[in-house]
């Protein structure tokens, strides 16, 4: 009895793949420590109840997002969920945002990990808009 030849790791269908337009590529991320430090030291700061947003203009074009969540906010699972939520809010906001070249750093608080998505979304969207406008001036 022979079994049909099937690749071991091949996907049966592409239904689980993410649509191309919703990706969060590396070019949209702040990753270097020096970029975070520069935003903290030289950037405009916007306080909210759930997050703090730092914005710093950049010479190259485009928006970039950096996220931080300390251990005070919760365990790894909780912090990563909060980061995913803020990343999704940023992705939706960036689609309609003005054309500016800015690094946006979002510090996630403990309250943000426990708040409903709608409350987090409205606050983060307002702070991102305000921060981008301050930097564009």
One digit per residue, the tens of pLDDT, for the chain of length 137 reads 566 555 555 555 555 555 556 677 888 899 899 999 999 999 999 999 999 999 999 888 788 999 999 999 999 999 999 999 999 999 999 888 878 889 999 999 999 999 999 999 999 999 999 998 888 77
Q: Quote the CA–CA distance of 109 and 62 in Å, as a whole number.
A: 26
C-beta separation of 105 from 32 below 8 A: no
The CATH architecture to which 27-136 belongs is 2-Layer Sandwich (3.30)
Q: List Cβ neighbours of 85 (8 Å cut-off, separation of 6 or more).
A: 117, 120
Positions of E strands within 1-137:
44-47, 51-57, 63-69, 102-108
Q: What angle, 0 to 180 degrees and rounded to 10, lies between the N-to-C axes of helices 76-96 and 117-136?
A: 50
Q: What is the pTM of this model?
A: 0.81
**How far is the C-alpha of 90 from the C-alpha of 100, rounded, in Å?**
14
Domain boundaries in the chain? 27-136
Phi, psi of 22 (to 5 degrees): -110, 15
Place of tokens 């997050």: 51
């Amino acid at each position: 009895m022979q079994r049909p030849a099937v690749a071991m790791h091949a996907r049966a269908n592409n239904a689980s793949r993410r649509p191309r337009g919703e990706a969060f590529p590396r070019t949209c991320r702040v990753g270097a420590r020096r970029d975070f430090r520069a935003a903290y030291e030289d950037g405009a700061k916007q306080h909210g109840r759930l997050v703090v947003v730092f914005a710093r203009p950049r010479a190259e074009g485009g928006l970039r997002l950096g996220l931080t969540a300390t251990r005070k906010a919760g365990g790894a699972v909780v912090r990563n969920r909060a980061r995913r939520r803020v990343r999704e809010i940023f992705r939706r906001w960036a689609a309609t945002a003005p054309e500016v070249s800015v690094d946006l750093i979002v510090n996630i608080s403990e309250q943000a990990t426990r708040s409903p998505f709608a409350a987090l979304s409205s606050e983060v969207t307002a702070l991102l808009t305000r921060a981008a406008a301050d930097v564009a001036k």
